[in-house]
């Protein structure tokens, strides 16, 4: 079955992980994407933010959350009082999955499958072990399913502090929506306020 496991480095630092993940062939998603987009930020951070997968801009630039959703997330974090220097950001899946009608047409995001999420899980587990965050902010349904299982429903648990064992570690998590869903929302202002509200719960949980 698909898995990133054989590609993990023996010695785990952000540099060795990033280098190794660049060569990952653990599932077919590397075939059409430009490059692996590994997590980034402060490995001593108290907060780890986990999204779904890189988007079009992230895939081109090789960095997580640099596109429109990332910009919106930065604003929401600032409003909620979470210091960006105290965060590490990553995605449940490290390659961009998309459909494209023709070679030069726009690449349209496609949600990763459970198999792909599971395959990519060892990278996320390694990042959690490296960063040892005090709190995980779960951005959207895919990240939630990857971390908490397929029964996860973001609408049921958003803005609450969950305590779960993840990859063998007791973790505290605050789920919220993915910032890209705010951009797609009919009522963007309300959706944005909802995101900020959930992030404020996370900020308070940090103490």
Interacting residue ranges for ligand SF4, rule: CB under 6 A: 4, 21, 24-27, 29-30, 36, 93-95, 116, 119-120, 123
Identify which of residues 59 and 171 has a Cβ nearer to ligand SF4 in the complex.
59
> Checking DSSP bridges between strand 162-166 and strand 169-176, what pairing results, if any?
antiparallel
- Contact (Cβ atoms closer than 8 angstroms) between residue 139 and residue 53: no
How many Cβ atoms sit within 10 Å of the Cβ of residue 107? 18
- Shortest reach from residue 53's CB to ligand SF4, in Å: 8
- Shortest reach from residue 3's CB to ligand SF4, in Å: 7
- Shortest reach from residue 24's CB to ligand SF4, in Å: 3
- Contact (Cβ atoms closer than 8 angstroms) between residue 117 and residue 138: no
Identify which of residues 26 and 179 has a Cβ nearer to ligand SF4 in the complex.
26
- Shortest reach from residue 117's CB to ligand SF4, in Å: 9
Identify which of residues 127 and 198 has a Cβ nearer to ligand SF4 in the complex.
127
Identify which of residues 24 and 141 has a Cβ nearer to ligand SF4 in the complex.
24
| CA distance readout (Å), 49 to 1, 57, 77, 92, 126 | 28, 18, 11, 10, 14
- Shortest reach from residue 29's CB to ligand SF4, in Å: 4
Q: In which element (H, E) is residue 183 found?
A: helix 179-184
Q: In the structure encoding, which two tokens stand for residue 125, read together?
A: 């587990």
Pick from 55, 86, 59: which is nearest to 72 by CA?
Answer: 55
Identify which of residues 21 and 148 has a Cβ nearer to ligand SF4 in the complex.
21
């Amino acid at each position: 079955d698909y898995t990133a496991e054989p590609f993990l480095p023996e010695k785990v630092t952000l540099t060795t992980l990033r280098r190794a993940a660049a060569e990952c062939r653990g599932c077919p998603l590397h075939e059409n994407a430009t490059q692996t987009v590994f997590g980034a930020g402060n490995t001593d951070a108290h907060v780890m933010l986990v999204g779904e997968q890189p988007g079009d801009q992230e895939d081109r630039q090789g960095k997580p959350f640099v596109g429109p959703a990332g910009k919106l997330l930065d604003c929401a974090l600032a409003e909620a009082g979470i210091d960006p220097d105290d965060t590490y950001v990553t995605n449940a899946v490290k390659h961009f999955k998309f459909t494209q009608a023709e070679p030069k047409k726009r690449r349209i995001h496609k949600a990763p499958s459970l198999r792909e999420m599971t395959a990519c899980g060892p990278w996320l587990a390694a990042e959690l072990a490296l960063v040892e965050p005090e709190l995980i902010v779960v951005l959207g349904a895919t990240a939630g399913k990857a971390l908490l299982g397929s029964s996860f429903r973001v609408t049921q648990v958003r803005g609450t502090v969950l305590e779960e064992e993840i990859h063998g570690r007791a973790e505290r998590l605050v789920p919220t929506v993915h910032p890209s869903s705010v951009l797609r929302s009919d009522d963007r202002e309300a959706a944005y306020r909802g995101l900020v509200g959930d992030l404020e719960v996370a900020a308070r949980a940090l103490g």
